[in-house]
Structure 1
Amino acid sequence: MLKVTKAVFPVAGLGTRFLPATKASPKEMLPIVDKPLIQYAVEEAIEAGITELIFVTGRSKRAIEDHFDTSYEIEAELEARGKEKLLDLVRNIKPSHVDCFYVRQPTARGLGHAVLCAEKLVADHPFAVILADDLLYCERPVMKQMIDVFNHYHSSIVGVEAIAREDTRSYGVVEGREWEEDIFKLSGIVEKPAPDDAPSNLGVVGRYVLMPSIFAHLRKLEPGTLGELQLTDALHSLLTEEQVLAYRYYGTRYDCGSKLGYLKATVEFALRHPEIGDSFDAYLRDYVAHLTV
């Protein structure tokens, strides 16, 4: 039986739509309330049954490795001070049954190339791809939803959401027919089409479950004008040989690669936070009341 136990996290890119990565603060380490973006992505994967985390890193991303490493000194200090709650939080950054692996992408050559860098670690297993910039919220984790679909169809799956027509230039847009509710059999994917040329209103988001056959198609790709290999192009090639599905997930997406999306996520996750949610809600209500006076 095919089982998805590996997830690839491409974190080598600079993310210049928000802030350039620096040695001190790679974008994936930007906090949403009390956890960095990459932690939310990893927790989503673990809740979906993933036990092997493969990080495709680049220059200036050492902070991510340090974040998931064991912090003996911090743990000893917290234990000595009797801070059990904080100690549990630190120890659960990466549960003991989960393993982390790291591979370096020498230069940022697109998402497709980043995924290709993980080929030897993935081998011949189906695997997930999770982009931490796309922070997804749902009580039933989106990656768990997608793996459940994969377990039924054993096909590569891309996560999609309904988008406004005027936003199509920012997405890969899928073409196909609805097979059953929220599941579409693909006939094509168009990268960032003009609104009038978009084949649908379903845009690809940063969640994928892929068969290992995708690697052969990634290796055959010709680099684009910027020297990049696009995962979208490899998927378009893959679906000429085997079934590829799109799944319209249940949940809310925050585009944390943009300033506005990052701020929205910060506010809404703060409102849901068990410790500060009520106080933050009261503050916002008071703030808005003063604005309307």
Structure 2
Amino acid sequence: MSQHQPIRKAVFPVAGLGTRFLPATKAVPKELLPIVDRPLIQYAVDEAREAGIEQMIFVTGRGKTAIVDHFDIAFELEATMRERDKDMSVLDASSATPGDIIAVRQQVPLGLGHAIWCARAVVGDEPFAVFLPDELMVAQAGGGTGCMKQMVEAYGEVGGNLISVLEVPREQVSSYGVIDPGEARDNLTEVRGLVEKPPVAEAPSNKIVSGRYILQPEVMRVLETQGKGAGGEIQLTDAMARMIGQQPFHAVTFAGRRFDCGNKLGFVEATLALALEREDMGADVRAIAERLLG
């Protein structure tokens, strides 16, 4: 296996307003809305930790400090739980060692590419991962590995830049970013180009970009000088497209499931799917669903 600089840092763009979920997100960040009993952002951080990532960089905006607070020590809560002899292990996943959580501000909403660029000083001259928390990526049941761990393993072989992709029915491709594929083996596909929301008849494949990236630090230099693209925003897709041909670029087809929690239907679907799989409640949730549907 080739030796490549390890992926130690991950960037989480979490500055969005979450307007699709108003009024719930008026005072509570969308990323803290729970899927069953765990905030959406927690699933992404857990996935990063599984992949060996050590430092989480949150690109936040005004009113989003609660995301960082979630991973802090809650002295009063923990003291009360200890006094009452409560199970403290439920807080383990939301704990972080000092220095593992870093927050930077995106003062102006200029797009995903700009949000990533805001983390440039913390990323430094290292390759890094990007997680879009709205995309909830769930490993296959029965011991499957998470999306980023699959990507880190592929990165160990090929290096360069990687994105996660999923195959969707051909008629759905016009709603997503799609790769122009080259050579493929196993779950790894060479990326020759990226096309944003192509017409079905013109789509180069049915493999859609699905919210996980491993990028080389040179992307920050590209974003530095990049103008606005679609929607009047600085687009990460545009910067990645400029790096194709300059560095190795591959897609990893994720063996698992994706839930689009950026919209209400996907959020409800994820909540139901994960609740049904829980040993402590799955049977009861199934009974409730059958009763409601009956």
TM-score (norm 2): 0.92
1:173 maps to which of 169, 172, 178? 178
Corresponding residue of 2:205: 200
Cα drift, residue 32 of structure 1: 0.5
1:172-218 Cα deviation digits (max 9, x unpaired): 11102133122111111011112122111111011011111111211
2:290 maps to which of 281, 285, 288? 285
Contact 1:8–1:130 (CA under 8 A) maintained in structure 2: yes
2:48 maps to which of 45, 48, 54? 45
- Residue 174 of structure 2 aligns to a residue whose secondary structure is helix
In 2, distance between residues paired with 1:66 and 1:207? 24
Contact 1:33–1:269 (CA under 8 A) maintained in structure 2: yes
**Following superposition of structure 1 onto structure 2, how do residues 95-244 of structure 1 map, counting pairs within 5 Å?**
95-96=96-97, 99-138=100-139, 139-224=144-229, 226-244=231-249
Deviates more, 1:186-195 or 1:36-45: 186-195
Gaps of at least 5 residues in structure 1 are none
Give the partner amino acid of 1:122: V
Gaps of at least 5 residues in structure 2 are none
2:30 maps to which of 12, 22, 27? 27
In 2, distance between residues paired with 1:213 and 1:130? 18
Corresponding residue of 1:81: 84
Compared CA separation, residues 225 and 33, structure 1 to 2 (3 A): closer
Give the total of aligned pairs.
Answer: 287
Percent identity over paired residues: 45
Give the partner amino acid of 1:167: Q
In 2, distance between residues paired with 1:14 and 1:193? 27
Contact 2:173–2:197 (CA under 8 A) maintained in structure 1: yes
1:87-114 Cα deviation digits (max 9, x unpaired): 2222431243771000000111111111
The alignment yields a C-alpha RMSD, in angstroms, of 1.7
Deviates more, 1:258-267 or 1:168-177: 168-177
Contact 1:23–1:61 (CA under 8 A) maintained in structure 2: no
Corresponding residue of 1:13: 16
Contact 2:183–2:189 (CA under 8 A) maintained in structure 1: yes
1:105-158 Cα deviation digits (max 9, x unpaired): 011111111111111101011111001100011131111001100111112100
